[in-house]
Amino acid sequence: MERLVSAAEVRSATGEARREGKTIALVPTMGALHDGHLSLVRAACERADYVAVSVFVNPTQFGPGEDFEAYPRDMDGDMELLRAEGVDLVFTPTAGAMYAPDAQVTVDPGPLGQVFEGAARPTHFRGVCTVVTKLFAIAQPDLAYFGEKDYQQLAIVRLMVRDLDLPVRIVGCPIVREPDGLAMSSRNVYLSAEERRAATVLYRALCEARDIASAREADAEIIASEMASTVGTEPLVELDYAAVIDPETFRPLDLFGAKPARALIAARVGRTRLIDNIALEVG
Ligand code: AMP
């Protein structure tokens, strides 16, 4: 496994793999790797001949006052985990190498970048789209792996690839959870023991939504308000949004059952913001 820090080195390494006829996969991450990330890496290793993982805490996707400085970092641990998975290349650029001091061109995520997570974090998806485009331009992968954990991010990246004709296929992977249901996240380390216990209410609310939906017991608005009231029973958790949406447009659904649907939830647990989601299907 090679660890490279410059874009030029990465381009030449993946270029050589391409000339050898290898299929190249990229897994973009911000590090502090857990089993959720590793599920993406494993899926990539199964399908591609050459797997590159980027580990980069991208400053442009954090807003002012967010946790960029505090974001967990564990480069040695990450390298060990990736080596054990048989990854070919790890790209660990510095922010200074990724962005020219006067960098000014960005990728606009469009209207989907303004709702839900985009409403809570107005510059977030512009930062995500810009860094993902740069990573695609640098590694030129055939396949790129993203988790459904960040469901809106996955939808926006798919749209970006379609709308900008980027020559890469996006592969979405299911959410990996802790045994008690909490979605794995690098940010879970911020939670105190009490907050960690309280945070399980998000998955409970999503499971309720799934069960109500599969029993055809309620329309979308009622499902969303049930989720909100479940979260409301947990004093340490402050709901940001709970919604039932069309998984492509992210428009709130009125009538549930005619189309596929996704339940989304976001909340603050102490100072930590957590997001999660689940597929809703009529039973
Ligand atoms: P991050 O390091 O948080 O930017 O995440 C990097 C990639 O891993 C993104 O595509 C995430 O959606 C994905 N990911 C993070 N947590 C999970 C999880 N619990 N299950 C599946 N994918 C995840």
Q: Render pLDDT for 80-129 as a digit per residue (tens, 0 to 9).
A: 999 999 999 999 999 999 999 999 999 999 999 999 999 999 999 999 99
Close Cβ partners of 178 (under 8 Å, ≥ 6 residues apart):
184, 188
How far apart, in Å, do the first and last CA atoms of the chain sit?
A: 46
| Annotation says 37 is catalytic | yes
19: its two tokens: 């000339």
- Kindly give the distance from the C-alpha atom of residue 8 to the centroid of ligand 1, in angstroms, as a whole number: 26
With a pLDDT cut of 70, the percent of the chain lying above it is 98
What whole-number percentage of the chain has pLDDT above 90? 93
Q: Report pLDDT digits (tens) over 164-200.
A: 999 999 999 999 999 999 999 999 999 999 999 999 9
Domains, the chain, ordered by start? 2-173 (3.40.50.620), 186-278 (3.30.1300.10)
Asked if the model's pLDDT at residue 38 lies above 70, the reply is: yes
Cα–Cα distances (Å) from 44 to 49, 150, 171, 211, in that order, read: 9, 18, 9, 32
Flag whether pLDDT at 237 surpasses 70.
Answer: yes
CA 260 from centroid of its chain's CA atoms? 20
Ligand 1 pocket mutation, candidates 26, 29, 203, criterion most atoms within 8 A of CB = 29
Atom of ligand 1 nearest to the CA of 34: 16
* Predicted local distance difference test score (pLDDT) of residue 283: 67
Confidence of residue 260 (pLDDT cuts 50, 70, 90): confident
Tell me the Ramachandran region of residue 198: left when phi exceeds 0, alpha when psi lies from -120 to 50, beta otherwise.
alpha
Residue 219 phi/psi, 5-degree rounding, is -85, 175
Q: What is the pTM of this model?
A: 0.98
* pLDDT of res. 166: 98
Residues with CB under 6 A from ligand 1: 29-30, 36-37, 39-40, 146-147, 149-150, 173, 175-176, 183-186
Structural Rg of the chain based on CA atoms: 19
Q: How confident is the model at residue 14 (pLDDT cuts 50, 70, 90)?
A: very high
The predicted pLDDT at position 155 comes to 98
Q: Are the CB atoms for 48 and 164 separated by under 8 Å?
A: no
Over residues 206-231, the pLDDT tens digits come to 999 999 998 877 788 999 999 999 99
* pLDDT level of residue 25 (50, 70, 90 thresholds): very high
Q: How many A from CA of 238 to the centre of ligand 1? A: 23
